[in-house]
Amino acid sequence: MDQLFDVSLFASTLRMITPILLAALGGALCARVGLFNVGLEGLILIGAFSAIVGNHLTGSVWLAVLFAIVCVLVFSLLLAYMAIHLKANVIVVGISLNFLALGLTTFSLRAIFNVKGAYYDKSMVGLPKWDIPLIKDIPWVGDVVSGHSPLVYLSIALVACLQYYLFKTVSGFRLLAAGQNPVAARSLGIKVTHIQYGAVLMCGVLCGLAGAQLSLGQVTMFTEGMTAGRGFIALVATMLGQSNPLGVAGASLLFGFMDALSTRLQGYALPVHFTMMLPYVVTIIAMFFFKDKSYLAEARKANESSR
Amino acid sequence: MDKLKGILRALLQPLLAIVVGLGAGAIAIAIVGGSVTETYAEMWKGAFGSFYFFTNTLSRATPIMLIGLGVALAFRAGFFNMGSEGQMVLGALSAAVTAIYLPGPAWFKLVAALLAGVIAGGLWSAFAGWLDARFRMNLLITTLLLNYIASLFAGYVVSYPLMDRSGSAAMAQTVMVDKSVWLPKLFQGMSLHAGFLFALIGAIALAWFMRYMVKGYEIRMMGGNPLFASYGGVNRGRLMLYSMFVSGGFAGLAGAGEVLGTQYRYLDGALTSPGYAWSGIMATLLAGSNPLGTALAAILLAALQTGGMGVERNTDVPLEVSSIIQAVLILFISAKFTYSFFKKKKKAGA
């Protein structure tokens, strides 16, 4: 048991949750304004790919991250325009965005790098690893917390920021109001569409960061469909966390831990299928206990009234 | 005359979407420096160029059609069933297990295997419906989650208890189904199997059911206006169970058909990696949940996919050009909701 729960398990948990957590926070923002963003998967994939392209073109990691954010912003603008302006069904737009992302990235992989499957270049530098001065000397905590990419720390900071923004600031309250009752919010002079656009674009920024962490954080490469369902897991984490930044962080932590644990358990007798299944089972059970929150009802209304 | 106009208007949007999709594809082809006409000619040849390719396209369309029909039924009732993948996988696994281990004459095993597929897919789907109807758990999320659970469970079954240990290849798969239980091929030497007939019959039966049966009317009513439906005495929970069962049953049949007609065994990942389930959902979206339209859209999507393979074989343009066309198609189609929305608004204003 000591061997199972050692330091590297927790360290890898922290690394694995970062893309999920960032995307899930974006999903939570969208859910709070009444848009159920199913396109997270595609947005992360675009982020991961454009981060590699940016790195290839500019040679700078930070410009690459910026490039990823800009590219994802373009696509989330498309989603926002179709869903808010054109009133297309947001779930349908999200699903088609996922298809578009998968097709476009694989196509561009061939078009830009002329490779199939995966692109890897030894000269590319990934995100730096930051050692936190004081904490890194604390025996156990230092090994877990220190030595990750800056995006890992950024994601943790964002949880606190978003929690504060949503529940302690005026503009956060306006955002919640726009999601909870758009008609009432509009009658108070709140620009609901502006807020919705803002939330979707912010979600795009977060997904861009998530993608950058995925392709430049742990490994420095891009493989076709490398998100491998992380966007959907993020969606589930959003639901499980009740679109509450702290809750979302907790849910992502659970997924990351299970993910890391299932990789670890491969060496043991327990079939890996069951450990991989665990997060999904846990989520279903958790959904059973936490439900019928107002925003959930909104989401349900949205998907009941559509064909 | 008005009816003809209505049909034309209904067809206008999908046709326009196809033109836009092909246009986007043309841009992509031009960017990589391929010849647009040559690429599209190869795509046409790869999908419909010869009898062999044509039947190949139809056999790829078979699971997409079946899944699309099931999803169309659920969408019509207003239920977002995203769990076709898991339902198909469980249907395929149950069909394979039944066909391999059930004693009895071959025809009996075949029928039992198909039924097992339908029931397994249906029950898995109805379970999600039950969770929503009984506990108000969001159907979209539960079906997505159940996908993972089903695929992992099937993966476990074929890599531990029922793994094929006879061959040298250590693949996660069951042993082969006996030849007598295979679904017959429709043409000698072609990949098209009898499952395609099921899909055709299913499309016609579903169209008829939705139009002329009381239950079909209830489903349409529930999707169109849930409040009105419940006022008219439709029990949402029970309707959800039924429609989700049938919806999953179609997906299960798709899986069973693939196992008994193409793969002849359950191989882990063989059904999930070609993305049949998502293509089926795309077909439904493309056709606006119309059963016959879904069948046509499934053939169109399958043609784009097999055509893309032809493009890959014979030109320098990558196969993924067809996924770009498909995605743009769907994006454009979702704007259809807009069109009807504006019309409604105008009427209300007048």
Split at pLDDT 50, 70, 90, the class of A107 is confident
Residues 6+ apart with CB under 8 A from B266: B92, B93, B96, B97, B154, B158, B173, B174, B259
Phi and psi (nearest 5°) for B173? -155, 160
Tens of pLDDT, residue by residue over B203-215, are 999 999 888 888 8
The torsion angle over the Cα atoms of residues A103, A207, A20 and A153, rounded to 10 degrees, is 140
- Is residue B230 predicted with pLDDT exceeding 50? yes
- Mean pLDDT (whole number) for A172-194: 81
Q: How much of chain B exceeds pLDDT 90, in percent? A: 25
* Residue B2: per-residue pLDDT: 66
Two tokens, residue B133: 């109807």
Give how far B142 is from chain A: nearest CA, Å: 7
What one-character DSSP code corresponds to residue B82?
Answer: -
- Is residue A299 predicted with pLDDT exceeding 60? no
Split at pLDDT 50, 70, 90, the class of B229 is confident
Give how far B268 is from chain A: nearest CA, Å: 12
* Residue B244: per-residue pLDDT: 92
The torsion angle over the Cα atoms of residues A164, A165, A168 and A174, rounded to 10 degrees, is -160
Minimum Cα–Cα distance from A115: chain B residue: B318
Residues 6+ apart with CB under 8 A from A105: A45, A46, A48, A49, A222, A224
Split at pLDDT 50, 70, 90, the class of B245 is very high
Under an 8 A CB cutoff, do B318 and A106 touch? yes
Q: Determine the residue among A40, A46, A82, A95 to mutate to test chain B binding: the one whose Cβ has the most chain B Cβ atoms within 10 Å.
A: A95
Two tokens, residue A163: 């929690």
* Residue A303: per-residue pLDDT: 46
Between positions 194 and 253 of B, the ones with CB within 8 A of A are 223-224, 226
- Is residue A306 predicted with pLDDT exceeding 80? no
By Cβ distance, the residue of B78, B323, B335 closest to A82 is: B335
Split at pLDDT 50, 70, 90, the class of A267 is low
- Mean pLDDT (whole number) for A22-29: 88
Residues 6+ apart with CB under 8 A from B189: none
- Mean pLDDT (whole number) for B318-326: 82
Q: Determine the residue among B138, B273, B313, B315 to mutate to test chain A binding: the one whose Cβ has the most chain A Cβ atoms within 10 Å.
A: B138
C-alpha closest to that of A306 among B230, B140, B205? B140
What one-character DSSP code corresponds to residue B173?
Answer: B
Q: Which residues, in sequence order, are bridge partners of residue A118?
A: A223
* Residue B350: per-residue pLDDT: 37
- Mean pLDDT (whole number) for A86-99: 80
Minimum Cα–Cα distance from A275: chain B residue: B152
What one-character DSSP code corresponds to residue B267?
Answer: B
Supply the DSSP string of B306-319, one letter for each residue.
Answer: HHHHHHHHHSSS-T
Give the three-state DSSP class for B193: strand
Domain boundary assignment for chain A: 20-128+144-232
* Residue B326: per-residue pLDDT: 84
**HEC string for A235-280:** HHHHHHCCCCHHHHHHHHHHHHHHHHHHHHHCCCCCCHHHHHHHHH
- Is residue A1 predicted with pLDDT exceeding 60? no
Q: Are A151 and A216 in contact (CB under 8 A)?
A: no
Q: Is B80 on the interface with A (CB under 8 A)?
A: yes
Q: How much of chain A exceeds pLDDT 70, in percent? A: 82
- Mean pLDDT (whole number) for B13-28: 83
Domain boundary assignment for chain B: 51-341
Split at pLDDT 50, 70, 90, the class of A307 is very low
C-alpha closest to that of A246 among A169, A156, A180, A183? A156
Q: Count interface pairs A-B at CB distance under 8 A.
A: 148
- Separation of alpha carbons B43 and B40, rounded Å: 5
Give how far B99 is from chain A: nearest CA, Å: 24
Cα maximum dimension of chain A: 61
Under an 8 A CB cutoff, do B334 and A103 touch? no
* Residue A136: per-residue pLDDT: 66
What one-character DSSP code corresponds to residue A291?
Answer: -
- Separation of alpha carbons A264 and A278, rounded Å: 14
- Per mean pLDDT, which range of A111-125, A231-245, B21-35, B239-253 is the poorest? A111-125
Give how far B107 is from chain A: nearest CA, Å: 34
Q: Are B239 and B130 in contact (CB under 8 A)?
A: no
C-alpha closest to that of A216 among A14, A68, A26? A68
- Mean pLDDT (whole number) for B164-185: 77
* Residue A266: per-residue pLDDT: 65
B78 versus B251: the higher-pLDDT residue is: B251
What one-character DSSP code corresponds to residue B269?
Answer: T
CATH architecture, range B51-341: Orthogonal Bundle (1.10)
- Is residue A294 predicted with pLDDT exceeding 60? no
- Separation of alpha carbons B11 and B9, rounded Å: 5
- Separation of alpha carbons B322 and B335, rounded Å: 21
* Residue B137: per-residue pLDDT: 81
What one-character DSSP code corresponds to residue B153?
Answer: H
Tens of pLDDT, residue by residue over A76-88, are 988 888 888 777 7
Return the CATH number of the domain spanning residue range A20-128+144-232: 1.10.3470.10
Tens of pLDDT, residue by residue over B61-80, are 999 999 999 999 998 888 88
Written as one letter, the residue type at B98 is T
Q: Are B307 and B46 in contact (CB under 8 A)?
A: yes
Give how far B188 is from chain A: nearest CA, Å: 35
By Cβ distance, the residue of B135, B149, B282 closest to A99 is: B282
- For residue A221, give the H/E element and its range: strand A221-223
- Per mean pLDDT, which range of A255-269, A276-290, B184-198 is the poorest? A255-269
Supply the DSSP string of A16-75, one letter for each residue.
Answer: HHHHHHHHHHHHHHHHHTT---TTHHHHHHHHHHHHHHHHHHH--HHHHHHHHHHHHHHH
ipTM over 0.85: no
Split at pLDDT 50, 70, 90, the class of B89 is very high
Tell me whether residue A172 is exposed, middle or buried, using C-beta atoms within 10 angstroms of its C-beta: 0 to 12, 13 to 18, 19 or more: middle
Q: Is B340 on the interface with A (CB under 8 A)?
A: no
* Residue A269: per-residue pLDDT: 64
Contacts of A232 in chain B (CB under 8 A): 144
Residue A261 vs residues A10, A255, A264, B71: alpha-carbon distances, Å: 9, 10, 5, 35
What one-character DSSP code corresponds to residue A118?
Answer: E
* Residue B117: per-residue pLDDT: 94
* Residue A36: per-residue pLDDT: 82
Supply the DSSP string of B97-118, one letter for each residue.
Answer: HHHHH--S-HHHHHHHHHHHHH
Split at pLDDT 50, 70, 90, the class of A228 is confident
Under an 8 A CB cutoff, do B226 and A96 touch? no
Contacts of A111 in chain B (CB under 8 A): 28, 31-32, 318
Q: How many helices (H) and strands (E) does chain B have?
A: 14, 0
* Residue B112: per-residue pLDDT: 93
By Cβ distance, the residue of B149, B328, B335 closest to A88 is: B335
Under an 8 A CB cutoff, do A303 and B148 touch? no
